[in-house]
Each structure stands twice: as structure tokens, then as C-alpha cells.
Structure 1
Amino acid sequence: MTTSIAPPRPIPRDPQVDSSLALLADPYRFIATRCREHGSDVFEARLLLRPTLCLTGPEAARLFYDGDRFARSGAAPEALRATLFGEGGVQGLDGERHRHRKALFMRLTAPDAVQALAATVRQAWRRAAAGWTPGQPVVLYDAAREVFTRAVCTWAGVPLPEAEVRQRTRQLSLLFDGAGALGLPHLKARRARHAADAWAHSLVEAVRSEAGAPAHETALTCIAHHRDPDGELLPAPVAAVELLNLLRPTVAVAVYAVLAAHALHQQPGQREALLQATPEDAPMAMACFIHEVRRYYPFFPAVAARTRRSFTWNGYEFPAGRRVLLDLYGTNHDARAWQTPGAFRPERFRPDRRAVERPGSERTGPPEQRPYSFVPQGGGQPSHHHRCPGEGVAESLMKQTLQFLLHELHYTLPPQDLSIDMSRLPALPRDRLVLVPQGAVLR
């Protein structure tokens, strides 16, 4: 008796000649929407005139982080390499070189280091608020970017003269705030990358020119003196890129800080729940709120890889060398993994002692139990997958911002447009969340 093997199914294709403009018009919902239309977790589209496979969902995320099938080298579009990532950084490495370089960032973002950064951020928020005039509007997005720039440079050992604060804040912000734009905003992001690379390069060279061991170890000195597996120092331009890969994402947490403040005011009862939590429950309540902000709101729309070889998945044949995008926002809202994904429910992250999968309901629990369904900054494990090692930094800075807004500042929100602009990268409230301080910071 012989058995026949079913031939691979053809991957559904987007009918447009090129779907780049459709993606830019709705970057967070493009992949999931098309997948629903095709009745598949994968479809093919031409993006920037290049055939690209688009994936969504937890099962697809698990596939995407299979290092035997996917590589990151050469996967990111040139526009992102020229602005967001830079050349030679950890995001484009694979295998042992990636693991070795990733270990540097895991060390720099260890719990003790994050705690020290959090203390610096707390003081930076207080310093900023001390300069605000009661009754005068403050754009929270602008304030948060400057606060985080000051804090991360102080913490990392990066000299930041007062006269350069606005300049460096703007440069670091443009690396993520203009990377996905078109036209003039993107050109500004490219110029900012060039200037920021030169600045970071000079910092690395200054550290390397110092005689003897540094007086104390900082993130800047760690990166400047880091050696790859071959025992050689990183080329100075690459070390500069990695320094920016620490500074830039920290400043980008300003997006999450604004979205967390947005949730305080737009999600019914959340402010009161955090304020009324008992001392015993307050840390859990805050953590669950922050997790849900990161799941519910848009941050990164997708991440890129390329197939190492041809293989079959779910009956579909994936060709070798094909660029692939994994849908992060859609996976965070996939109804197969999340009950009522369109609702803001921090309690979904509370530990469930029963740990039982119940038909028609979702299993509750912390993010580490959901490495392929909770993917706001990538999936898998940070230590050996391409998941961002700075998630602890993001959560800590969000926590400091929320505690500042909840317990240290009297303010009101004037009339404004708080709708989220989903066509923007990164997505933000259309008026960037304006608040009006009503008095001195409470002590």
C-alpha cells in the first residue's frame, strides 16, 4: 500500500502590484486584516517592490523565532538600517555572534542596572516638573523624551552638557520617530542618524583613548571595550551603533509612557484601581496595568527576518531567501490567544493558580508564560532569541512615569484630541497628550 503526500498549498497573494502604500497607510492592522481576508496566517505581498511573506498569530511567531529556519542578517529594509538600527548592530546578527553580542545587552539591562536607571528617571521627572509653570500646558510626549534622554545619558556615563540636551533629545527621537515616515521626515531621520553616529563614535574613541582601566564601569565603557567572539574590539563605528542601540530604545519608551498616561484617563476605573490598591497588591496591580498597556496599544507594528532555506509549514512552501514580516500588533490582539482582545483588562496578567485551559476563555498569567502571544517587543526569550532585552527598562520607566503622575503631580487634561493615530509610526494620541500642571510637585 502506498501513501500519497499532499503537495504544498500555494501561499495566498495580495492582489496589488505593490502593497507598500497600503502598509504605510495602516501599518499596525495591515497584516492581520489581510490574513483574515485570505483565511490564512500567511500571505505574500510585494513591499518596496520585493516579494515578502507576512505572518500573524502565536503559532506563526513560534515559527518566526526558529533560528534554523530564519536569519536576521540583511532582512531589515535599507530605510530602517539607515535610521532606526544603523549598520553592524545586534539586530542584524545571527548564531554565535548574535548570542555573544546579546549577552552584552543582557548584562547592561540586568535588574540592578535597571533599578539604578529607574532612580535616575525618578529624579529627572521631579527636575522637569520643578521647571513647569502652573497653568501652562505641557506636552507629555516632549517632556518624556527629554526626561529619558537626560536619565539614560547620566546612567550610561554619557557626557551631556546642558547646552546639548535638546539637540541630543531631538537626534535620538528622530531615529525612531522618523524611520517609518516618507519624504522630508525620513530625510531628517537619516540626517539625525548621521549626526548621532558621529557623536557616539566620538564618545567611544574618547573612552578608548584614556590610559588604564576606567575609574568605574559604565554602559559606555562596557560597550567601548566589548570584544566579539574573535577577541577583537568592536570597530568603533559598530560600537557607536551599539551605544545608540542602548540610548535610542530608552528614549523611545516615551511612547509607552504617553500611552500609559492615556490609559489612566481613557480606560474606565483604571486610575482609581491603582490608587486604591492595598500596599500588598499595589506592585501586582501596577505590573498588570503596564503589561496590558504594552499588549493593548500599538508600538512596533512588525519585525523582519529572511528564510535561511526552503521548508514547509502548515502545508505552505516557504522559499529560501524570502523576506518575512511577523505581525506584532495583530498577534497581541489575536482572539485565539486573548479573550476579548479589544478590551483593556489588566487582570488577564494575574497569576491563575488553577492554570487550566478552559474552553472559550484565556489562561491568565504573567508575560513570561506567553513568549509567542505577548510580543510587543518581539517574541521568544531575550537571552537567545531576537526579543528585545530592554523590556525590563520599558516597564521600569513606565512605572516611574505612572507613579509620578499618580502620586507626585497635580494636573488636569485640557480639551484635546486623544484618539490614537494608527497611521503614525509610532502611534500616539493625535495631540501627544497635553496636561496642565496645577501646582507644585508633591513631596
Structure 2
Amino acid sequence: MLATNQIPRDDGFDNSLALLKEGYLYIHNRAETFQSDLFKTRIMGKNAICMRGKEAAKLFYDEDKFQRKLAVPNRIQETLIGKRAIQTLDGQKHRLRKYLFMSLMTPQQQKQLAEKTAEQWKQAKKQWKMKKQIVLFEEAKKVLCKVACEWAGVPLSEREVSVRADDFISIVYAFGRVGPVHWKGRIARNRIENWLEAVIDDTRSGTLHVDEATALYKMAFFQDEKGQHFSTHMAAVELMNVIRPIVAIATYITFAAVALHEHAGQMEKLKAGTHDDFVRFIHEVRRYYPFGPFVGARVKKTFYWKNVEFKKGTLVFLDIYGTNHDPRIWENPNEFNPDRFQNWDGNLFNFIPHGGGDPAKGHRCPGEGITVEVMRATLDFLVNHIDYHVPSQDLSYKMNQIPTLPKSGFVMSFV
């Protein structure tokens, strides 16, 4: 059988700088150059295999072959997800923790979040009438911070909203950056953790009374496989992993507004559209625009795939952006076309903005349904409940910044 040194290899002792330089396109560019879904490289001083495509995604989410333990770099744990969080777990520990998250993200919970989102946009609109212009991204992160905290049962005063929203977004935008942006995210994470730890303590002591159905209550009193509660710190970490992704939807919302503006006919189509039209548009925003770049895991036990040896402990990266732009899966992948989802079969491995596989069983993000419903409520607001002008601005975004965002944040005037 072929060994990994016989598949294409990205030249260089370490290609971390190339990854930073090319960002979302690093794996995709080399897969195209090598004409191979697999290639070998070195990232952060470690040998790694990069792969893309539907078959690769199906392999990557096979829990018998891959594990998350030791796969998530410290810089991501110390910014985006937290130490020993659900994204780093495997086996029974992961399944039990995943059940906790899934219980918070049912269709009923998704509907509640959508309703709260619609109401908060209406409240925000009242303030916009008094302003010459607003930046949608800045407004979206505040709206979603309010929505997420209210839904989760976390007290949030009006004067705290901007600070907490900024911190949540700083955490999201820190994991793929270096320098001041990264360190700003680390500092923000410490502030959020300290705040939520105090809220957890107040909940456990009875000082703060919260609904038993809320994320706050469930995190405070969750019992692990040994029947033990989370430490205060771990409860805060996982509570943040419920709230933070909701605030991060501000990025998708900004790209959705760009899509409405830049792609002719989409606004009019949605004004007269059905629920399915909205969902197809949302799916295409999540497929077309960059958000999650790639995900990593380690080989659990040595195996062969396509005559290639995957040695135990090897670091493997699955290209999310490249798979969502794979021309073998998507016709004209670099064109924005929501109609492509009219005939989509719902395959869990060819459309992976939130990861692949069944979210109830594996590592696909359980909050995908929440993302779709929050975006749907927001699109309905943008399309059917306000009129606005889009002034001249820089809507470009950098593919070597992870995550990325339109430079202007999408300025709207005369709302």
C-alpha cells in the first residue's frame, strides 16, 4: 500500500506562515494544484494531512478513526472554545455532553430564539430612525447578545450590552489571528468567564432564580458520567459555548446583507418568497461566504484510506471552505445561487459550514438549526420590515483573515 510520503507534499520545513498568508484558500489551493484530495504538510511544527471533499468529510467524522483529544491547539482553546470544552471530547464523555447541548437546541428552542430576534430587531429599528446611518455588524452583535443572554437566562443590563457583545465577538475573531487582535480576544475571554462564573455561583446558591429550562440552569446543575456537577469554571465555559455562537451569527447576517445588495434580484425574490426561499438563501450564504475555514482531529488508530496510511496520532485537517466550493459537488461553486439548494438531497457530508455528519451523534455543531432560524428572522426584518439606502463603501473581505468580515461592516443609511 502507498505510504503518506507518496502522496503530494507541500514543500517547506513548516508551512504555518503559508497558512496565515492564504487563510481560507490554503488547503483548497494545494488540492487544486496537486489535483488530489489529500496532501501532506507541516503546521505548527507537526506533520499533518490535509483533505477535502464529500468522501473526506464522511471519513473525518468517523469516530472509530478520529478523535478530538489533543487536536485543538491551545490558542483556540484559550480564545474560542475554552479548555476541556465539548469540542475537545470523545466517546461517552462527548455523547453525554452533546446530549446536554442538543436538549437546548430543539425546534421549539429555535423558534423561541427566532421570535426573540425579531422582537429585538424591532426595538433596534426605533433607535435607527434617529441616526443618519448604522453599521449592521455592530448592531447585529448587540441584538444577538441581548437575544442569547435573555434566552439563556443570563441577566444582562442595558448598559452592559455593548461591552459584552464586543467581548463575545473579540473571542470569535481572536482564534485565527496573531498580535493585538488575538490578545484582545484572550483578555475578553477572561472577562466573560469571570462574569459567567459569578452568575453560575449565584444560580447555585439560590441568589439568582432562573427557569429550569434555560441554558444557565442546565449548565449550573448538569451531572457528568460520574454524577458530579461541573466546576464553576467549566459550567461557565460551556455556558459561553452556548451564547458565543449565537452572537457570532452577526457575521453571517452581515454577509447576508451583502448578498442582498450585490446579487441582483435576491431582495425582490425574497419579498415575494416562501419559507423555503428564505432557507435556500440562508444555505447559500453559509456555503458561499467564508466563516469556518477547516477543522482538525487526530487519527485514533492506524488505518488505510485510498491506499494511504493514516498513522495513529497524525494531525488531520478537513477543508470546510474548500468542500463547500468543490466543483464536483457544486456546479459553478464561485457563483452565488440559492436555487442550487432546490434539489439538494440534505447530504450531511457535502454541505458542511457547521461540520459534517449527524449533530446528535458526532461533532457537527448542534447550533446549526439556531443559526438558520435566527438568520431567517433577520432576513425577514431586512426584506419586509425596513427600507434603507446602501451608501458607497468597501464591502471587500480578506481571505487570509480567519474569521473574515466585509471591511465596512455593511453601512446602512436613512433607515
Normalising by the smaller structure, the TM-score range is over 0.9
Q: Where is the helix percentage greater, Structure 1 or Structure 2?
A: 2
Give 1:237 shift.
Answer: 1.1
- Cα separation, 1, equivalents of 2:321 and 2:396: 17
Contact 1:409–1:437 (Cα < 8 Å) also in 2: no
- Cα separation, 2, equivalents of 1:287 and 1:7: 43
Partner of residue 404, structure 2: 427
User: Which of 293, 314, 319 is residue 311 of structure 2 equivalent to?
Assistant: 319
Amino acid at match of 1:50: K
Give 1:424 shift.
Answer: 2.1
- Cα separation, 1, equivalents of 2:187 and 2:220: 24
Q: How does 1:113-124 map to 2 (within 5 A)?
A: 113-124=109-120
Amino acid at match of 2:384: H
C-alpha spacing 1:68/1:184, structure 2 compared with 1 (3 Å): same
User: Which of 289, 295, 298 is residue 297 of structure 1 equivalent to?
Assistant: 289
- Cα separation, 2, equivalents of 1:308 and 1:20: 24
Give 1:421 shift.
Answer: 2.2
Give 1:51 shift.
Answer: 1.5
C-alpha spacing 1:55/1:7, structure 2 compared with 1 (3 Å): closer
TM-score, length basis structure 2: 0.96
- Cα separation, 2, equivalents of 1:316 and 1:11: 8
Give 1:425 shift.
Answer: 2.0
- Cα separation, 2, equivalents of 1:303 and 1:253: 19
Partner of residue 275, structure 1: 271
Q: How does 1:226-237 map to 2 (within 5 A)?
A: 226-237=222-233
- Cα separation, 2, equivalents of 1:400 and 1:60: 34
Give 1:183 shift.
Answer: 0.6
- Cα separation, 2, equivalents of 1:272 and 1:427: 27
Which range moved further: 423-432 or 237-246?
423-432
Partner of residue 260, structure 2: 264
Partner of residue 285, structure 1: 277
Partner of residue 373, structure 1: 350
Contact 1:307–1:318 (Cα < 8 Å) also in 2: yes
Partner of residue 328, structure 2: 336
- Cα separation, 2, equivalents of 1:306 and 1:324: 6
**Which segments of 5 or more consecutive residues in structure 1 lack a partner in the other structure?**
1-5, 351-363, 439-443
Q: How does 1:109-188 map to 2 (within 5 A)?
A: 109-134=105-130, 136-188=132-184
**Aligned residues: CA RMSD:** 1.6
Give 1:431 shift.
Answer: 1.1
Give 1:334 shift.
Answer: 0.6
* 3-state secondary structure, aligned to 1:415: coil
User: Which of 12, 15, 24 is residue 16 of structure 1 equivalent to?
Assistant: 12
Give 1:311 shift.
Answer: 1.2
**Which segments of 5 or more consecutive residues in structure 2 lack a partner in the other structure?**
none
* 3-state secondary structure, aligned to 2:24: coil
User: Which of 371, 379, 398 is residue 394 of structure 1 equivalent to?
Assistant: 371
Amino acid at match of 1:312: Y
Contact 1:422–1:428 (Cα < 8 Å) also in 2: no
Give 1:133 shift.
Answer: 4.0
* 3-state secondary structure, aligned to 1:54: strand
Q: How does 1:178-257 map to 2 (within 5 A)?
A: 178-210=174-206, 216-257=212-253
User: Which of 327, 338, 341 is residue 349 of structure 1 equivalent to?
Assistant: 341
Give 1:222 shift.
Answer: 1.0
The alignment of Structure 1 onto Structure 2 pairs a total of residues equal to: 414
TM-score, length basis structure 1: 0.90
* 3-state secondary structure, aligned to 1:406: helix
Contact 2:149–2:156 (Cα < 8 Å) also in 1: yes
* 3-state secondary structure, aligned to 1:312: strand
Matched, 1:51 2:47: yes
Give 1:337 shift.
Answer: 1.1
Q: C-alpha deviations, 1:224-267, integer Å up to 9, x for none?
A: 11111221111221111100000100000000101111111111
* 3-state secondary structure, aligned to 2:47: strand
Partner of residue 393, structure 2: 416
* 3-state secondary structure, aligned to 1:73: coil
Give 1:11 shift.
Answer: 2.8
Give 1:390 shift.
Answer: 0.3
- Cα separation, 1, equivalents of 2:72 and 2:176: 12
Q: Tell me which structure has the larger Cα radius of gyration.
A: 1
Give 1:39 shift.
Answer: 2.2
